[in-house]
Structure 1
Amino acid sequence: MKSLMIQGTSSGAGKTTLVAALCRIFEQKGYLVAPFKSQNMSNFGYATPDFEISRAQAIQAIAARCPIEPDLNPIMLKPLGNYYSAVYLNGKYYMKMHAKDYYAKFVKSKGIQAATTSLSKLQKNYELVILEGAGSPAEINLQKYDIANMQIAQKANASVLLVSDIDKGGSFASLIGTMDLIEKKYQKLVKGFILNKFRGDIDVLKPGFRKIKQLTKIPVIGTIPMMKMNLPEEDSLNAKAKQIAWTKNNISKIDKELDKLAKVVKNNLDIKVIERVIK
C-alpha cells in the first residue's frame, strides 16, 4: 500500500485536476489506484439511489478506473448559505449544520473517524491511494480543525506535493509562505512543488526554481501549462459549473478527456521523482 497527497496553496490551484491526471497515469502504469478526499465542499454531486459523493471524486475514480463508492469522499458539504451546510456522511445525508457547530462538534469526532475509516479501507484494497487536500494547509485559524490536509496526510503516511496556480501570480511567495505556516511536524512531508496553469517560456522560471530550492530544500518537480479541458468543473464556487447527466456517453467523453489530460501532465511532471517519493 502506497499513498501520495496533492495539496494546494489556495483553492482553485488545480488539486482536483492533478489528482485525476495522476490517477490515470498510475493506472496506466499498472497500479491499482483509488482517489480520496476526506472532506469536500461542493453543490455538485454524483448521486445514485444508495449514496451521493462529490462529483470531483467520481471523475477521479473514472480516471483511476476504480468503482465509485462513498469511501472516496466520506464527508461532503453542500453550502446552504448563512454559514450553514447540508452534511453528507459516508454518502448519506446526515444533518444541516452551522459552520461553528461543524468545527466544534463534528470534525474532531465523527468527522475524523469517518475519514480515517474510509482511508483505511482504501489503503487495504488498493496499491496506491492518491489523496486530495482542501483549500490550503496554511489556514492558521483553522489548522486544529483541518481534517483534509496535513493531519490526514500523516495518518495516510503520504508524501505531499504542493501545487500553486502561477497564472494568478505570486506562486513562489505562496509556496514559501505555505511552508512557513505549516506546522513544523508536517513540513517534512512535503517532497515537491508543482506550478500549474503556466503560459510562456519555462526558462524564465528557472532562476525562481533554483532560489526556492535554496530557501526550502524542496525541488519544483513540474510546471504544467495552461490547457483547455472539457471536464465538468469541480468547484461549486465556479459560476460556469453545471450539473451533468451520468450517461454512458458523457462518461465516455470524460474518459477520453482524462487521457488527454494525463498525457499533458505526464509530459510536464517528473513521474520518476514522484514514484520515488511515494510511500
Structure 2
Amino acid sequence: MTRTLMIQGTSSGAGKTTLVTALCRIFSNLGYCVAPFKSQNMSNYSYKDGFEISQAQAIQAIAARAEISPHMNPILLKPLGNYVSNVVIQGKPFKKMSAKTYYEKFALGRGLKTAMDSFSHLKSKYDLIILEGAGSPAEINLQKYDIANMKMAQKTHSPVILVSDIEKGGTFASIAGTMMLLSKQDQSLVRGFIINKFRGNKKLLEPGFRRLKQITSKSVLGAMPLVDLELPNEDSLDNKIHLFRKQNKKKLDTQIDKLAKITQQNIDVKSIERLIS
C-alpha cells in the first residue's frame, strides 16, 4: 500500500519546497521508497532532460534518491506576462493559456485528470509519496479551481501538515485564519503545523502553540530555524543552480543531508511517520 503525506503552506514562500526536500531524504534514510509530487507548479525555472519539470521537484527527487520523472510535476505553468502562461503537461509543451481559460476550461477537467494519472503512475512505483501544495489552500477566490492543495489531498487521501513562515510576522494569525477559511472536511485533513524560519529561543513560542491548539485542536509539530544552504531557490535561477551538474552531485547530496539533519533536530519526525502509517 502506498502511503501519502502532503505539505501545504499559509502562503507562497512559507517553506513547503524545503520541507518536502528534507522529508524526502529523511524518509529515504528510514528505508522508504519515496517520490515527491506537485500537481501544479508555476515557475520559469525548470529542469530539462528530454522533458521539463520544475527544478524544485527535480531536487526533491534527488533528495528522495528517486529517478527524476515528469510525473513528479505533471503541470508546469511558465508565466509569459499579462496573465498568460505556457502550459507544460507531463514534461511536454502543451499550449499558451490565459489564467481565465486555465481555471475555467482546463483545471478541473484535463488538468485534474492529468495530475491524477501522474499520481497513479508514481503510486505504482513508490511506497511513499510526499505531495507539495501551491501557494495557500485558503485563497477563497480560487478554491473552486484549486487542484494543487486540498482537492489533491482529498483525492489522494493525504494527511496535511501546514507550514507557516514566522519571519514574515503574524504566523499564528496566518495559521488560524487559514484553518478558519477551510471547509470542515478540509480542516479534518490538517493534522498539524510547522513553524518555519524561526530565530531565537523556542520557549518563547510555547504559549502561542498552546493557544493555537485551543483554537484549532491541532498541534505544532516543530519549529524550523532559518537556514541558509546551497540549494537553488524554487523561483530563481541563482548561482546555486550549478549544483545540478553531475560533477557537483556529491555537494548537492551533502547540502540535502545537512537540511535533513537540521529538520530532524527541530520537528517531530516520529509523529509525522505515525500520520502515514
TM bin (shorter chain): over 0.9
Secondary structure, in 3 states, of the residue corresponding to 2:134? coil
**1:182 aligned residue:** 182
Query: Structure 2 unaligned runs (5+)?
Result: none
Paired with 1:257 and 1:21, the residues of 2 have a C-alpha distance of 10
Q: Answer whether contact 2:232 2:238 (CA < 8 A) is retained.
A: no
Describe the superposition over 1:124-147 as per-residue Cα deviations: whole angstroms up to 9, x where unpaired. Answer: 211100000000000000001000
**1:270 aligned residue:** 268
Q: Answer whether contact 1:235 1:241 (CA < 8 A) is retained.
A: no
**1:71 aligned residue:** 71
Q: Answer whether contact 1:71 1:118 (CA < 8 A) is retained.
A: yes
Name the amino acid aligned to 1:267: Q
Q: Answer whether contact 2:5 2:158 (CA < 8 A) is retained.
A: yes
Q: Answer whether contact 2:24 2:34 (CA < 8 A) is retained.
A: yes
Shift of 1:120: 1.2
Paired with 2:79 and 2:138, the residues of 1 have a C-alpha distance of 22
Secondary structure, in 3 states, of the residue corresponding to 1:173? helix
Aligned residue pairs total 276
Describe the superposition over 1:58-109 as per-residue Cα deviations: whole angstroms up to 9, x where unpaired. Answer: 0000000000011000000111001110100010000011111111111011
Describe the superposition over 1:200-238 as per-residue Cα deviations: whole angstroms up to 9, x where unpaired. Answer: 0001000000000011100000000011111011124xx
Output aligned runs, 1:236-255, within 5 Å. Answer: 236=236, 244=242, 246-255=244-253
Secondary structure, in 3 states, of the residue corresponding to 2:6? strand
**2:117 aligned residue:** 117
Describe the superposition over 1:172-191 as per-residue Cα deviations: whole angstroms up to 9, x where unpaired. Answer: 00000000001222110000
Name the amino acid aligned to 2:139: E
Name the amino acid aligned to 1:185: Q
**2:198 aligned residue:** 198
Name the amino acid aligned to 1:134: A
What's the TM-score once normalised by structure 1's chain length?
0.96
Query: Structure 1 unaligned runs (5+)?
Result: none
**2:28 aligned residue:** 27
Paired with 1:242 and 1:214, the residues of 2 have a C-alpha distance of 42
**1:3 aligned residue:** 4
Q: Answer whether contact 2:243 2:251 (CA < 8 A) is retained.
A: no
Secondary structure, in 3 states, of the residue corresponding to 1:188? helix
Q: 1:195 to 1:226 in 2, by over 3 A?
A: same
Paired with 1:55 and 1:244, the residues of 2 have a C-alpha distance of 12
Shift of 1:111: 0.4
Output aligned runs, 1:115-154, within 5 Å. Answer: 115-154=115-154
Q: 1:257 to 1:243 in 2, by over 3 A?
A: closer
Shift of 1:123: 1.5
Q: 1:188 to 1:66 in 2, by over 3 A?
A: same
**1:216 aligned residue:** 216
Secondary structure, in 3 states, of the residue corresponding to 1:125? coil
Shift of 1:252: 2.4
Q: 1:242 to 1:230 in 2, by over 3 A?
A: closer
What's the TM-score once normalised by structure 2's chain length?
0.97
Paired with 1:152 and 1:179, the residues of 2 have a C-alpha distance of 17
Secondary structure, in 3 states, of the residue corresponding to 1:151? helix
Query: What fraction of aligned residue pairs are identical, expressed as a percent?
Result: 60
Shift of 1:250: 2.8
Paired with 2:7 and 2:239, the residues of 1 have a C-alpha distance of 22
RMSD: 1.3
